[in-house]
Amino acid sequence: MKPVQLVKHQLVIPEDFAQQRLDLALSKLLPDYSRTQIQAWLDSGAILVDGQQCKAKTKLHGGEQVSIDASVKQQPDWEAQAIPLTIVYEDESVIVINKPAGLVVHPGAGNADRTLLNALLHHIPALQSLPRAGIIHRLDKETSGLLVVAKTAAALKSLTAQLKKTQHVT
């Protein structure tokens, strides 16, 4: 298991963030962390605003002093495995994979390895530091198709937000 990553920040909420929710403002000010992670820190008391514990929905006024003393949720130590990948596109932020039918996306019960995630870790070892190795969506084992995978924390956050936004379109 990897060592726990400690996070310590001191910041002041800019005046132009007045009337925004605390969790939304912090996710903008700290783009390396997901809103879900920030909400978990708020719930656990790891984030204090002017020395007080606050809820995620707290409205800001601007000028608040925020201190964060938290740890990042640890990801399992998945094994990198040399499994061929069909790469459709890759740049410094994302990689698009054409997943064949029969390949499981994430390790899980009955499929501890030989998954797309294991193959991605072999191709890009740095993905071990991202939640789910940067995979933002999945396809069933017997389904083939394109999967977009984030290579950076900022790309993961952006792609997740974009995917969530498209799910609300009717």
Output the domain CATH number for residue 40.
Answer: 3.10.290.10
Count of domains for the chain: 2
CA distance 145 to 60: 43
- If asked whether residues 50 and 111 sit together in one domain, one would say no
Task: Name which of 41-50, 71-80, 160-169 the model is least confident about.
Answer: 160-169
- If asked whether residues 112 and 144 sit together in one domain, one would say yes
User: What's the Cα-to-Cα distance from 57 to each of 19, 43, 71, rounded to whole Å?
Assistant: 10, 11, 22
Segments forming the whole domain that contains residue 42: 5-72
pLDDT tens track for 2-48 = 556 788 999 999 999 999 999 999 988 887 777 888 999 999 999 99
Concerning whether 23 is annotated as a catalytic residue, the answer is no
Q: Evaluate if residue 167 carries a pLDDT over 80.
A: no
Question: Which residue's entry shows tokens 């499994």?
Answer: 83
pLDDT given for residue 98 in this prediction: 97
- Rounded mean pLDDT, 110-123: 92
Catalytic choice (32, 43, 113, 140): 140
- If asked whether residues 59 and 108 sit together in one domain, one would say no
- If asked whether residues 92 and 161 sit together in one domain, one would say yes
- If asked whether residues 107 and 40 sit together in one domain, one would say no
Q: pTM for the whole thing?
A: 0.62
